[in-house]
Amino acid sequence: MELYRSHVLVCGGTGCSSSGSAKLIERFEEQLKEKGLDKEVKVVRTGCFGLCEAGPVVIVYPEGTFYSRVKVEDVDEIVSEHLLKGRKVQHLVYVDHKTHESSVQKSLNEIGFYKQQKRVALRNCGVIDPENIDEYIAFDGYQALAKALTEMTPEQVIQEVLDSGLRGRGGAGFPTGKKWQFARASKAENKYFVCNADEGDPGAFMDRSLLEGDPHAILEAMAIGGYAIGASEGWIYVRAEYPIAVKRLEKAIEQAHEYGLLGENIFGTGFNFDIHIRLGAGAFVCGEETALMASIEGKRGEPRPKPPFPAVKGLFESPTNINNVETLGNIAQIILKGADWFKSIGIPTSTGTKVFALGGKINNTGLVEVPMGIPLRTIIEDIGGGCPNGKKFKAVQTGGPSGGCIPASMLDISVDYDSLTKIGAMMGSGGMIVMDEDNCMVDIARFFLDFTVDESCGKCTPCRVGTRRMLEILERITQGKGEEGDIEKLETLAENIKSSALCGLGQTAPNPVLSTIKYFRDEYEAHIKEKRCPAHHCQALLNYRITDACRGCTACARKCPVNAISGNVKEQHVIDQQKCIKCGNCMATCKFGAIIKE
Amino acid sequence: MENLVKLTIDGVSVEVPAGTTVLEAAKKAGINIPTLCYLKDINQIGACRMCIVDTGARAFGAACVLPVTEGMNVKTNTPKIREARRVNLELLLSNHDKKCLDCVRNQKCELQQMCQDLGVDDVDKYKGKMNSYDIDDLSPSIVRNNNKCILCRRCVAACVNTQAVGVIGPMGRGFKTKIGSAWEQPLNDVACINCGQCIAACPTGALYEKDSTKAVWDLLNDETKHVVVQPAPAVRVALGEEFGLPMGTSVTGKLAAALRRLGFEKVFDTDWGADLTIMEEGTEFINRVKNGGVLPMITSCSPGWIKFCETYYPDFIPNLSTCKSPHEMEGAMIKSYWAEKAGIDPKDIRVVSVMPCTAKKFEAKRPELSHNGMQDVDEVITTRELARMIKEAGIDFANLPDEDFDPMLGESTGAAVIFGATGGVMEAALRTVYEIMTESKIEPEEVEDNDIFTTVKEAARRTVKEIVNKTKLFMAFHDVRGLKGVKEATIRINDTDVNVAVAHGTANAAKLLDSIRSGEKTYHFIEVMACPGGCVTGGGQPIVSAQKRMECDPKALRAAALYLEDAGKPERKSHENASIMNLYKDYLGEPNGHLAHELLHTHYVERPKYKK
């Protein structure tokens, strides 16, 4: 194996890839060759680093220098300065939003964003080349599988997972070991181990990053799980919209086969395990396990009633265990380091870590992995760096369209399954969307419900029609046509849908509405009774007004598409509220900040 | 030994076999849980959420799919449950056209009934945007009106599972979900077999027969035409239900009287055509056996089955009997034999068939089923349509005196009337074939404690107890009766074992044909009826609600009435029908003879599954 004095890690995750990291890699390789450094410095395309907001991200080891927002034209400078002369390129080094501190003297783990994180599931993301099985093996890869197969009985494997307290990371938080126990207890000739990679929450990309950054970890966990429950066939149901993940999984499966880590007689133990990939066409409901299985079987992706549970009668009518990607991301570590180690992270009822996709009005958009039980405030303020532009934090939506919003007053809540559920939110799969003072909570509820209405499969009445009716009421409210009694109607529908819908999608769809009503009822009332949007967000409820800061430049009057603005040159202009269509063009045009919305 | 499970439903303790659903267990405890998407033996998907019950779980469970567990404590009547059911019903109403007054299912609609039962007081409570669909009425048999569809999918289950046809299914998703055919094609352009089992399954007016009553009224009002009518065997044991008579009541005499009062010039009987069919088909079978013809021979009475075979199993077309179906034979005889005897120009005759079947509407239009440029049958109305006409005419059906069918094409034997039940054609054919081939006689017999007939006998006892005990209900060939999906029997005729099979419901037919294709089975003679139960539960028969289907089986009850009618007939074998014998002597010559071939036999066409 060749030795290099330096490694340049370029993020090949989703965010950085779309901001051009592939071109960076090309340029680095060209430049290094040109400078004759290609035998000394190695360029590695890794999985996601997490700090997507700072992408494309490049890290140079052994120093651990963290370059952010690197452009192709910066590459020459990094090569000639840093790699050739050993001088860090100061102006490209990541600067912390909150402290305005340059990380020039710090290594990655000392940066605010990473300092409070604990990487278990994402341990290899941004560290190894996901397309190279040797790198995975170098980081103890497939050792857990070897240990499980050669030193442990299936029961012992299940016991270890059970003892670790690991709960399903897909959202519901069901103890993983218990699930495995049920599947093991089912007697059948054929059993299946399924990996649910149908990540569908808007703004969530935890599973995607894990699949893209460390695909072998998922394969290894599936093989361990297959051994534990007595299955010799595995299925990964992954969205077709994740082409990089699919490609890397395919490659990983191929490599694992080559190395004999998948296929027949693994480690000479007589255990056989093979993995198939099935692409989903992007229906959110296919993340629901019974709908997912229907989809794998080639049927319309629709849930069916439980019982029978998959562990009894699942895929192709056989006992089946289904785990989410992130859940599986923890398995190898649990087997290797033991349940006690895993339990030492987090809190007793929610052990280990959880990955969140931070998005919305937050400085450090990206992927974070934190120990369970961490205060929400730490995630939002310390890791996320708070809201941009000095805006006031208003709420955070956890659990995506199935979750609820948590208001600023509850920021000190512990982030764990039970605490979040107690206040009407939920852990969910890990989407965390931050809202600031400019977000209208009625509109947020409308937004999430719009998503579920669109994604309802249409099988059961409450979800198919009920969510649609709720959406219509919310649309009415945000358009200033809310009526007395609408809130109560929403509550009645919401409670009914929650209790009577067929599957988890319907049962949780009303959560964003219920939680916003619970914590921001005054905003609903302002919309309905006063026809006012307190956040100045809902267009129909806004009035644009020109203040005395107007210089009479006439720019706004010329931009107005409906000629609603009048006034003489060099005199204060006026908007005719009857004519105004509230398009906001005037406000965007005014150079003097003289137009306000209220 | 059955594994029993004990549970409590609304405080009532019940013990039921393991695997029973909460819905069934509740029924046993005297509790009717409301359902819409559930249809016994056909659809159990827990989709409509009307049958939700509280078991203490996080969310309510659907009783129709929830298996009982030991010690389960179920509540079906709490304020929350009642509220949730009502809200779900009101949500369904918010996307339903609610045009009840001109709906063909008015007062026979499960959705309407549910509104009354659950106390809906504002049908517009959740008023919002509604989906709007064009009505698909291009099929000669079936009309689909998605504006009344509540997406229970009972029709889909009937089409896909019971019939193995599957030309309709859910399309789109969420609020825009609708039932339709691939690529939004009309039903007429897909490989639908016109059986109408979707209609029989529909709880609302979203599916109904293509109406022909207007055309029939027009014919009756046309003084230049001689309009004659013939009702099928199965009509007489179901029509009464439309007038409040108990299921399984035979109304043969009233039927003849009502048809006469509607103004038909002659009231003939398709039973006569059925006897004629046995003569032709029996002879065809004997000839095929003797002359090494294609075997197994498969019956051709059911037009839904014929289209199924032409479309999905075209390799079996040579196996199909070339006999026209009974009402087509009768139509052909009316326009030839009767026309000649009555001295009427066939061009002035119009034949109306009253059928338990929607596929007959399609069949009557088949170009092969015509002679001299005239269709054998001009109009087909279903049992339901006849009931509407009787009501419209103000005829007090229940109090009509019994009348007879008109002679010449109205006399029939017991063998003919059992055509309406699955196995009936086979049994009727065997009575004749056996006697002719063996030159011996079979006698009526009474069979007690025979498992295969238990259903039928019990059903019969429920309606007309005293008759059953006195009558010799059975003749021979017991194994072809009953409701098993595929029935088999071996009959020793002379020195040969004749293997026969009976299938009802095209999914069962498919299974049977697959077993022949694979070489696993060999038969000589097969009866197939497209509809489960045969014609008695055809797609044109009075619709039986899901609740009622939980209480009784219309297949068994209506069949029982047919078997009783058979038992009460002086002649029970087609070759004993004097009128038919006279027909051969006087007009046709020999069965399968030249004229018979010209008028009573037909051919079939292979049909593509997909439109080119």
Same domain, A141 and A108: no
Domain annotation covers residue A127: no
Domain boundary among A529, A562, A580: A529
Q: B226 forms bridges with which residues in the sheet? A: B349
Same domain, A29 and A104: yes
Which domain, by its residues, includes A331? 133-343
- Burial call A388-419: b when 16+ CB within 10 Å, e when fewer: eeeeebbbbbbbbbbbbbbbbebbebbbbbeb
> Which residues from A are below 8 Å from B49, CB to CB?
460-462, 500-502
Share of chain A above pLDDT 90, in %: 80
Domain annotation covers residue B55: yes
Same domain, B200 and B317: no
Q: Which residues contact residue B12 at a Cβ distance below 8 angstroms, ignoring those fewer than 6 apart?
A: B29, B30, B31
Cα pseudo-dihedral B310, B314, B318, B320, rounded to 10: -40
> Do A441 and A395 meet the contact criterion of CB atoms below 8 Å apart?
yes
Domain annotation covers residue A297: yes
Cβ-defined contact of A305 to B52 (cutoff 8 Å) = no
Q: Which amino acid would we find at residue B259? A: L
Q: What is the pLDDT of residues A414-449, one digit of tens each?
A: 999 999 989 888 888 889 999 999 999 999 999 999
Residue B373 three-state SS: coil
Same domain, A590 and A505: no
Domain annotation covers residue A125: no
Domain boundary among B162, B181, B209: B209
User: Residue B97's closest CA among B137, B130, B142, B143?
Assistant: B130
Residue A391 has pLDDT above 70, yes or no: yes
> Do B297 and B335 meet the contact criterion of CB atoms below 8 Å apart?
no
Same domain, B162 and B233: no
Q: Which amino acid would we find at residue B272? A: W
Tell me how far apart the alpha carbons of residues A497 and A473 are, in angstroms, rounded to a whole number. Answer: 15
Residues 273-292 of chain A with CB under 8 A from chain B are: 283, 285
Q: A276 forms bridges with which residues in the sheet? A: A235
Tell me how far apart the alpha carbons of residues B278 and B430 are, in angstroms, rounded to a whole number. Answer: 9
Domain count, chain A: 5
Domain count, chain B: 3
Cβ-defined contact of B87 to A466 (cutoff 8 Å) = yes
Mean pLDDT of chain A: 93
Q: What per-residue confidence (pLDDT) applies to A43? A: 93
| CATH number of residue A417's parent domain | 3.10.20.600
Q: Is A304 on the interface with B (CB under 8 A)?
A: yes
Domain annotation covers residue B92: no
Same domain, A177 and A311: yes
- What is the bridge-based pairing of β-strands B4-9 and B73-74? parallel
Same domain, A414 and A334: no
> Do B447 and B473 meet the contact criterion of CB atoms below 8 Å apart?
yes
Higher pLDDT, A86 or B296: B296
Q: Which residues contact residue A390 at a Cβ distance below 8 angstroms, ignoring those fewer than 6 apart?
A: none
**Smallest Cβ distance to B174: which of A455, A492, A500?**
A455
Q: What is the pLDDT of residues A478-535, one digit of tens each?
A: 999 999 999 999 999 999 999 999 999 999 999 999 999 999 999 999 999 999 999 9
Domain annotation covers residue B205: yes
Same domain, A291 and A142: yes
Cβ-defined contact of B176 to A492 (cutoff 8 Å) = no
Q: What per-residue confidence (pLDDT) applies to B53? A: 98
> Which residues from A are below 8 Å from B128, CB to CB?
468-469, 472
> Do B237 and B133 meet the contact criterion of CB atoms below 8 Å apart?
no
Q: Which amino acid would we find at residue B221? A: N
- Give A42's DSSP letter: E
Same domain, A480 and A505: yes
Q: How far are the Cα atoms of B187, B219, B355, B380, B385 from residue B213, in angstroms, in the given order? A: 21, 10, 13, 9, 6
Same domain, B170 and B282: no
Same domain, B302 and B352: yes
Which domain, by its residues, includes B18? 4-77
Cβ atoms < 10 Å from Cβ of B362: 24
Cβ-defined contact of B174 to A466 (cutoff 8 Å) = no
Tokens of A113: 């964003």
Domain boundary among B169, B190, B209: B209
Instruction: List, in sequence order, every beta strand (DSSP E) within B75-161.
Output: 142-144
Same domain, A374 and A290: no
Q: Which residues contact residue A228 at a Cβ distance below 8 angstroms, ignoring those fewer than 6 apart?
A: A148, A154, A157, A158, A161, A180, A184
Q: What per-residue confidence (pLDDT) applies to B451? A: 44
Same domain, B291 and B185: no
DSSP string, A292-321: HHHHHTTS------SSSPTTTS-GGGS-EE
Spans of chain B, pLDDT less than 70: 1-2, 447-473
- Mutate one of B44, B52, B87, B129 to test the A interface: name it (highest A CB count within 10 A): B87
pTM of the model: 0.92
Cβ-defined contact of B173 to A458 (cutoff 8 Å) = yes
Nearest CA in chain A to B56: A499
Q: What per-residue confidence (pLDDT) applies to B470? A: 47
Domain annotation covers residue B113: no
Domain boundary among A413, A436, A459: A436
Domain annotation covers residue A277: yes
> Do B506 and B193 meet the contact criterion of CB atoms below 8 Å apart?
yes
> Do A465 and B95 meet the contact criterion of CB atoms below 8 Å apart?
yes
User: Residue B535's closest CA among B148, B225, B271?
Assistant: B271
Higher pLDDT, B533 or A98: B533
Residues 418-457 of chain A with CB under 8 A from chain B are: 453-457
Same domain, A234 and A296: yes
The whole-angstrom distance between B64's CA and the closest CA on chain A is 10
- Give B565's DSSP letter: H
Q: Which amino acid would we find at residue B147? A: N
| CATH number of residue B24's parent domain | 3.10.20.740
Domain annotation covers residue B117: no
Domain boundary among A64, A85, A114: A114
Tell me how far apart the alpha carbons of residues B133 and B130 are, in angstroms, rounded to a whole number. Answer: 10
Q: Which amino acid would we find at residue A259? A: Y
Cβ-defined contact of A472 to B88 (cutoff 8 Å) = no
Same domain, B264 and B232: yes
**Smallest Cβ distance to B49: which of A304, A472, A502?**
A502
> Which residues from A are below 8 Å from B56, CB to CB?
none
Tokens of A223: 């093989």
Domain annotation covers residue A363: yes
Q: What per-residue confidence (pLDDT) applies to A110? A: 76
Same domain, A166 and A268: yes
| CATH number of residue B451's parent domain | 3.40.50.1780
Q: What per-residue confidence (pLDDT) applies to B471? A: 56
Same domain, B373 and B446: yes
Q: What per-residue confidence (pLDDT) applies to B1? A: 52
The whole-angstrom distance between A548's CA and the closest CA on chain B is 44
Same domain, B322 and B413: yes
Domain annotation covers residue A535: no
Long-range Cβ contact pairs of A253-256 (< 8 A, separation 24 or more)? A253/A219, A253/A277, A255/A133, A255/A216, A256/A133, A256/A142, A256/A216, A256/A219
> Do A236 and A249 meet the contact criterion of CB atoms below 8 Å apart?
yes
Q: Which residues contact residue A298 at a Cβ distance below 8 angstroms, ignoring those fewer than 6 apart?
A: none
Same domain, B180 and B322: no
Q: What is the pLDDT of residues A446-493, one digit of tens each?
A: 999 999 999 999 999 999 999 999 999 999 999 999 999 999 999 999
User: Residue B404's closest CA among B227, B235, B254, B561?
Assistant: B254
Same domain, B148 and B219: no
| CATH number of residue B173's parent domain | 3.30.70.20
Tell me how far apart the alpha carbons of residues A526 and A480 are, in angstroms, rounded to a whole number. Answer: 10
Same domain, A565 and A491: no
> Do B61 and B55 meet the contact criterion of CB atoms below 8 Å apart?
yes
Tell me how far apart the alpha carbons of residues B286 and B299 are, in angstroms, rounded to a whole number. Answer: 14
Same domain, B131 and B233: no
> Which residues from B are below 8 Å from A483, CB to CB?
none
Residues 481-500 of chain A with CB under 8 A from chain B are: 492-493, 496, 498-500
Cβ-defined contact of A466 to B67 (cutoff 8 Å) = no
Residues from B contacting A (CB-CB < 8 Å) are 45-50, 52, 58-62, 65-67, 80, 83-84, 87-88, 91-92, 94-95, 126, 128-129, 150-151, 169-170, 172-177
Phi, psi (rounded to 5 degrees) for A335 = -65, -40
Mean pLDDT of A542-547: 90
Same domain, B461 and B532: yes
Same domain, A305 and A397: no
Domain boundary among B164, B184, B209: B209
User: Residue B528's closest CA among B314, B302, B359, B357?
Assistant: B302
Tokens of A177: 């070991």
| CATH number of residue A520's parent domain | 1.20.1440.230
ipTM over 0.85: yes
Domain annotation covers residue A126: no
Q: What per-residue confidence (pLDDT) applies to A241? A: 92
Nearest CA in chain B to A307: B66
Cβ-defined contact of B129 to A468 (cutoff 8 Å) = yes
Tell me how far apart the alpha carbons of residues A272 and A234 are, in angstroms, rounded to a whole number. Answer: 11
For chains A and B, CB pairs below 8 A equal 109
Domain annotation covers residue A105: yes
Domain annotation covers residue B394: yes
Domain annotation covers residue B89: no
Q: Which residues contact residue A489 at a Cβ distance below 8 angstroms, ignoring those fewer than 6 apart?
A: A473
> Which residues from B are below 8 Å from A466, CB to CB?
87-88, 91, 126
Tell me how far apart the alpha carbons of residues A353 and A368 are, in angstroms, rounded to a whole number. Answer: 10
Domain annotation covers residue B612: no
> Do A82 and A94 meet the contact criterion of CB atoms below 8 Å apart?
no
Q: A405 forms bridges with which residues in the sheet? A: A397
Q: What H or E segment, with its residue span, contains residue B327?
A: helix B326-333
DSSP string, B156-191: HHIIIIISS----EEES-GGG-EEE-GGG--GGGTT
